[in-house]
Amino acid sequence: MANKNLNKAKEAKKDEFYTQLEDINNELRHYREHFRGKTVLCNCDDPRVSNFFKYFAYNFEFLGLKKLIATCYKSQDVNLFSEGTSEQAVYLVYEGDKNGNNIPDDEEIEVLPLKGDGDFRSAECIEFLKEADIVVTNPPFSLFREYVAQLVKYDKKFLIIGNVNAVTYKEIFPLIMSNQIWFGASIHSGDRKFWVPDDYKLEAAGCGIDETGRKYIRVKGVRWFTNLDYKDRHEDIILYKQYNPDEYPKYDNYDAIHITKTELIPNDYDGIMGVPITFLDKYNSSQFEILGMTDRDSPLCTKIYTKEDSPKYGDLNRRSVLIVNGEFKLQFPRILIRRKQ
């Protein structure tokens, strides 16, 4: 789940979390075949610290890219490789090495002014989106719903970073359920280190300053979200447990059994199961089907509990509440799945 740093960032609209090059490389290596001859857009990037732009610029020929575009919000450095600054929003274009040294030199990167402020929702940035084949970036966490909606509207391939809890958003879960979006290949647990702006207040655990003097935070619950296919997502989850009603109690308010961990899914149960959202880290759509979520208007919900049902439950007027044998179990949403035959 998201830690306090993420919540504070969302409240303050401090969404400039700059992704580490190592995390980008670990993920992008699973998709090399998707990029040949393609135009890549990084439309939520600060060129000062945009490891997305650096990754694609330095791997331009290796990936066989056609074109690389980065749009940059105002008050950012104009030049990726120098200390120049500007209050004007700009966009960067790189179309490959021209002098034979296999390095994206300053003179090979075209830096042009934008008319507006570089917001990904602006008309001129949408024109870049239309031109692009694949979008790869770390969008603002507070605008994740709107950002994904725009990608879907323009039917774009993408690889973006978000928080695992985005799965529960009413705008995102239907895309997961219909197999239009899924988790990426490389991040399935733990936290990740992100650089933050110099004016970011380091108030919580996991914040710090690295050896270069850059401020960073560590954020839990980070995932890659994508609609680019990769080999590992088609591998079956190895199931070794067998069903027994004592170990797998049924919810009182959903027609499903309770599964505490993905690896404990029984291999011989054909009914509906409630699994944690981290099930999506290993989800194979050929092995399981997703039927819904416990905080959605699901026909599988058999009773909506309220505080009148039992004082010990508190205010339970949400469908995400799960009751097992008359006792409160948890409020975190569960994904309802069934094994395919």
Q: In the predicted model, what is the mean pLDDT of residues 151-160? A: 97
Report pLDDT digits (tens) over 325-340: 877 776 688 999 999 9
CA distance 31 to 217: 27
Q: pLDDT tens digit string along 26-57?
A: 999 999 999 999 999 998 866 555 789 899 99
pLDDT at 14 over 70: no
- The residues, any chain, with a CB within 8 Å of residue 306's CB and separated by 6 or more, are 315, 316, 317
Question: In this predicted structure, what is the pLDDT of residue 84?
Answer: 36
Q: What is the pLDDT of residue 318?
A: 55
Predicted local confidence at residue 73, as pLDDT: 67
pLDDT in tens, 124-149: 999 999 999 999 998 888 899 999 99
Task: Compute φ and ψ for 245, nearest 5 degrees.
Answer: -65, -25
Per the structure block, which two tokens stand in for 155?
């039917």
What's residue 13's pLDDT?
A: 39
Classify residue 243 as exposed, middle or buried by CB count within 10 Å of its CB (0-12, 13-18, 19+).
Answer: middle
Q: What is the mean pLDDT of residues 91-110?
A: 88
Enumerate residues 6+ apart whose C-beta is below 8 A from 151: 135, 158, 160
Strand partners, 258: 274
Beta bridge partners of 257: 250, 273
Residue 191 is predicted with a pLDDT of 67
Residue 182 clears pLDDT 80, i.e. is over it: yes
H/E element holding 63? Answer: helix 60-63
pLDDT tens track for 246-283 = 999 999 888 999 999 999 999 999 999 999 999 999 99
| pTM for this prediction | 0.85
Q: Which residues pair with 68 in a beta bridge?
A: 40, 94
Q: Confidence class of residue 110 from pLDDT cuts 50, 70 and 90?
A: confident
What was the pLDDT predicted at 221?
82
Between the ranges 19-23, 203-207, 243-247, 249-253, where is the mean pLDDT highest? 243-247
Q: Is the pLDDT of residue 118 over 70?
A: yes
In what order do the strands lie in the sheet containing 134-137?
A: 109-113, 90-94, 67-72, 39-42, 134-137, 157-163, 222-226, 182-183
Which among 240, 195, 244 is positioned nearest to 217, based on CA atoms?
195
- In angstroms, the CA 294 to CA 276 distance is 11
Please list, in sequence order, all residues whose beta carbon lies within 8 angstroms of the beta carbon of residue 271, skipping any fewer than 6 positions away: 255, 256, 257, 338
